[in-house]
Structure 1
Amino acid sequence: MKNEQWTSKIGFILASAGSAIGLGAIWKFPNVVATSGGGAFFLVFLIFTLGIGLPLLLAEFVIGRSTGKEAVSAYKDLAPKSRWHWIGYLGMATCSILLSFYSVVGGWIVLYFIKAMTGQLLHQGEDYGVLFQMTTSNPYTAVLSQAGFMLLTIVIVAKGVKGGIEKASRIMMPGLFIIFVILMIRSLTLPGMGAGLTYFLKPDFSQLTSEAVLYALGQSFFCLSVGGSCMVTYSSYLGKHDPLGKPALSIVGLNVMTSLMAGIAIFPALFALGMKPADGPGLLFITLPAMFEKLPYGTLFIAIFLALFLFATLTSAFSLLEIVVAAFAHGDPTRRRHMCWLFGIIIFLLGVPSALSFGMEQLTLMGKTVFEWADFAVTNVMLPLGVLFISVFVGYRYPKERLQTEWSSIAPAWRTGLHVYLFMLRIVLPIIVIIVFLNGMKWLPL
């Protein structure tokens, strides 16, 4: 059966941007910017994203749109009677493991959002660190909240590309940016906010360490959701003559803008209230509630902020489930619904040990919980391998004539640029990915 298609280019851009804009762009990246040279780091990250992330994003787009098939079938179509289709299986495994622990964090956000909406989250003098520990260490709460997040993901993805993913993304992504604007205005109108803005954006090249540069390298492709073949699947729903260059640039722009807006929304408010910056779960579940408790209408603003995080988490989760479902649905809507529920439940069960990690500290291996090992495997091993294989595949194995045809729709005014692009994919990007991989494994002396 023929695959569904996006109803418009904007639908594809919003869904793809939603896939790329995850929790890391909002709760980790801004703090790394602030502690690694501010505007200096941001400039380096922008250069790497355009020079490294964008070519990799286009590589996945080229694979998906040219074949009109999901990840596994796309590689089979382009390289028949070979083992290259295992890149698709690697992507499926990567996204399944990623969603298994990502849904745990998504469940916490759902739980906190419900508490915020019912006025039960903010209390004067509350120790939010203790509240977070109690929330995550309760096995029933942890698993039920994870199940609730997975249920939301399954229901939307089961409705299809147009009626589910695209429709939800058209609502959630504009909503995310509207919320950001509201929070930025609130943050920038607080007395003493200038110190936070300076902390976040002031260029300081003396703090731009080799570790920070390597982090910027890794983030340049991780932040665009490449390496797991999600974008292969999403671009397979494009028409054969739909452009790729402008949507890719739009997705890069939206992702960079999100990270910038997150920092502007968070740091001025933190400094205005005399609080210390943080990243990761500590920012969302401990620091921000303590911050909003001190603000007028804090209950309203924490609910708005949690809605933002929920939108960002869900739109990423859609693509993680979609790559697995699409490989088995074969364009059949009924089969699609069945596959959504089947794999959604399997991924939920796969994530239960991660959900229980925070209440069962004794279940560790070499000092890491199941949640931490799953995160480590995806971030430091599976995604870099995916990026490396995709880069090599398009650089060396992709049929030359088909690649020339695809390139003409990406950069019609720069036909000779294909040689530069192939040099990047064949030589430059593999070297960079290997460096990022060695750094992630702590095998690179710095």
Structure 2
Amino acid sequence: MEEKKDQWTSKLGFILASAGAAIGLGAIWKLPYVTGMSGGGAFFLIFVIFTLVIGLPMLVSEFIIGRGAAREAVSAYKKLAPDSMWVWVGRLGVLGCFLLLTFYSVVGGWVLIYSGMSLPGKIISDGANYEALFGSVAGSPGITMFGLLLFTIINVLVISMGVQNGIEKANKYMMPLLFIFFIILVIRSVTLDGAMEGIRFFLAPDFSNITAESLLYALGQSFFSLAVGFSCMVTYSSYLKRDVSLTSSAGAVVGMNIFVSLLAGLAIFPVVFAFGLEPAEGPGLLFMVLPAAFAQLPFGSIFLSLFLLLFLFAILTSSFSLYEIIVAAFTANGKFSRKTVTWILGAILMVVAIPSALSSSTLAGVEIFNKSIFDATDYLVSNIMLPLGSLLIAIFIIHKADKALVKEEYQLGGKGTGNMYSLWRALMTWVVPITIVIVFLNTLGIVRG
């Protein structure tokens, strides 16, 4: 097996980077509001179960493909299945990451702007209309484009420095800070008067509120929260040394993802309930409900700043993985330098992201299938391309990849994994693909919960 020139310096660096790729909008933004809309504790418990049964096997699969080929996403499928159409799985991942970045970077820009505004305490004020404030940020072409530019520049600077000096170093600082900030917020949140009602809502399962639709929501959330489906983890694991256990690494990433999801709920719901706010607010929970809640806390501006900064760290560590899969694909043949490709990619992304950035302002009236450009791009990536990519990866790892190589990679660096390998293979053969198809059909409206 040939070595990669650029590799993670340690297993910890790889785990932190992979966890950073997984922990983003899904864990900190989407999960709390979807949990709020779906009944609380029972939904979160089901989400954890699905993450272990569906998400974890998929993550292991991408790890196996990446390190087994020692290639980035496109070249990995080309090497493991030469002269076949399977290379398009990697290409689909590159395209999906590019489209995802066009609206992910817009949200990242909003969080950057909010973070900057929160530091001097300009967000929280007496009688503030937080819905109008968010509207003024998202609805301003100048502010949105400025945020998009800053977010893009940060990503380009980090990615251009490479795997070890860029991505790994950034994650080694940002991920521990993320956990420290979260723990501070959780301690403050759970010690509020009336916080216990929020804790009970989030952690005490009440299955009377669970419907078939809630199960599908939990399934989709668990699946999409681990950054699997676009072969990002194929690229990340291709930089991994041979003496590292893929299964224990995947377990650590999943464990950190569930832990962050737990912290997000404990940071948010006690505050929401303590001040009599609505937990089922939806996507506006971050930008509208939480500022209103923190405004009622002593030193609320400081706690809001901490929350926005940790959210910014989570978005950045995820966007690094999206950038990396694209940059790695275009630098694999050695014809172009990493820095050149990264800066060109950043410039192209800025241009292509403009329609999504202006969806709430200049292009507010433009719709695609009754959705704004921003929402239509999100729907295409999250509900069509991601499950399609995931299904193809599940089929590839079981029916096309060399079985001996797959088993060797699964067991390498681990002990006593024979029975677990059989369980993983059974899950990937039947449970995972069938589940993906059900979620896919549900998102398309063909099957309803």
Q: TM-score range by the shorter chain?
A: over 0.9
Q: CA deviation at 1:293?
A: 1.5
Aligned partner of 1:170 in structure 2 is 172
CA distance in 2: counterparts of 1:345 and 1:440, whole angstroms = 33
Q: CA deviation at 1:24?
A: 2.1
Answer with 420-429 or 59-68: which moved more: 420-429
> Are 1:358 and 2:360 matched, yes or no?
yes
> Are 1:442 and 2:445 matched, yes or no?
yes
Aligned partner of 1:82 in structure 2 is 84
Tell me if structure 2 keeps the 8 A contact 1:98–1:378. yes
Q: CA deviation at 1:115?
A: 0.7
Tell me if structure 2 keeps the 8 A contact 1:113–1:303. yes
Answer with 382-391 or 188-197: which moved more: 188-197
Q: CA deviation at 1:345?
A: 1.5
Q: CA deviation at 1:286?
A: 1.0
1:315-340 Cα deviation digits (max 9, x unpaired)? 00000000000011238697001111
Gaps of 5+ in 1: none
Give runs of aligned pairs for residues 257-406 of structure 1, distance below 5 A: 257-278=259-280, 281-330=283-332, 335-359=337-361, 360-406=363-409
Q: Are residues 87 and 170 of structure 1, via their aligned partners in 2, closer, same or farther at CA, if it must alter by over 3 Å?
A: same
CA distance in 2: counterparts of 1:223 and 1:76, whole angstroms = 27
Residue 215 of structure 1 is aligned with which of 201, 214, 217? 217
**What TM-score comes out, normalization by structure 1 length?**
0.96
Q: Are residues 424 and 408 of structure 1, via their aligned partners in 2, closer, same or farther at CA, if it must alter by over 3 Å?
A: same
Q: CA deviation at 1:126?
A: 0.9
CA distance in 2: counterparts of 1:22 and 1:296, whole angstroms = 28
Give runs of aligned pairs for residues 14-29 of structure 1, distance below 5 A: 14-29=16-31
Residue 121 of structure 1 is aligned with which of 116, 120, 123? 123
Tell me if structure 2 keeps the 8 A contact 1:66–1:240. no
Answer with 407-416 or 77-86: which moved more: 407-416
Tell me if structure 2 keeps the 8 A contact 1:28–1:279. no
Aligned letter for 1:426?
T
Tell me if structure 2 keeps the 8 A contact 1:30–1:200. no
Q: CA deviation at 1:280?
A: 5.1
Aligned partner of 1:432 in structure 2 is 435
Q: CA deviation at 1:217?
A: 1.5
Gaps of 5+ in 2: none
Tell me if structure 2 keeps the 8 A contact 1:30–1:260. no
Q: Are residues 334 and 445 of structure 1, via their aligned partners in 2, closer, same or farther at CA, if it must alter by over 3 Å?
A: closer
Aligned letter for 2:275?
L
Give runs of aligned pairs for residues 15-164 of structure 1, distance below 5 A: 15-164=17-166
Q: CA deviation at 1:37?
A: 4.1
Q: CA deviation at 1:35?
A: 4.0
Answer with 325-334 or 303-312: which moved more: 325-334
CA distance in 2: counterparts of 1:416 and 1:177, whole angstroms = 34
Alignment length, in residue pairs?
A: 446
Aligned letter for 2:443?
G
Q: CA deviation at 1:255?
A: 0.5
Tell me if structure 2 keeps the 8 A contact 1:27–1:280. no
Aligned letter for 1:390?
I
Answer with 6-15 or 212-221: which moved more: 212-221
Answer with 227-236 or 188-197: which moved more: 188-197
Answer with 84-93 or 421-430: which moved more: 421-430
> Are 1:414 and 2:417 matched, yes or no?
yes
Q: CA deviation at 1:411?
A: 5.4
CA distance in 2: counterparts of 1:121 and 1:301, whole angstroms = 12
1:342-381 Cα deviation digits (max 9, x unpaired)? 1122122111100000013211123211000000001110
What is the root-mean-square deviation in Å for CA atoms of aligned residues? 1.7
Q: CA deviation at 1:417?
A: 4.1
Q: CA deviation at 1:140?
A: 1.3
CA distance in 1: counterparts of 2:414 and 2:389, whole angstroms = 25
CA distance in 2: counterparts of 1:420 and 1:294, whole angstroms = 50
Q: Are residues 41 and 94 of structure 1, via their aligned partners in 2, closer, same or farther at CA, if it must alter by over 3 Å?
A: same
Answer with 164-173 or 423-432: which moved more: 423-432
CA distance in 1: counterparts of 2:390 and 2:328, whole angstroms = 20
Aligned letter for 2:366?
L
Tell me if structure 1 keeps the 8 A contact 2:44–2:202. no
Tell me if structure 2 keeps the 8 A contact 1:176–1:308. yes
CA distance in 2: counterparts of 1:416 and 1:152, whole angstroms = 44
CA distance in 1: counterparts of 2:252 and 2:281, whole angstroms = 26
Answer with 119-128 or 107-116: which moved more: 119-128
Give runs of aligned pairs for residues 226-241 of structure 1, distance below 5 A: 226-241=228-243
Q: Are residues 331 and 262 of structure 1, via their aligned partners in 2, closer, same or farther at CA, if it must alter by over 3 Å?
A: farther
Tell me if structure 1 keeps the 8 A contact 2:115–2:309. yes
Answer with 395-404 or 385-394: which moved more: 395-404
Answer with 332-341 or 128-137: which moved more: 332-341
Tell me if structure 2 keeps the 8 A contact 1:37–1:202. no
CA distance in 1: counterparts of 2:37 and 2:257, whole angstroms = 20
Percent sequence identity is 49
Aligned partner of 2:206 in structure 1 is 204
Q: CA deviation at 1:34?
A: 3.9
Q: CA deviation at 1:66?
A: 1.2
CA distance in 1: counterparts of 2:419 and 2:194, whole angstroms = 52
Aligned letter for 1:286?
M
1:49-76 Cα deviation digits (max 9, x unpaired)? 1111111000000000111110010001
Tell me if structure 1 keeps the 8 A contact 2:175–2:313. yes
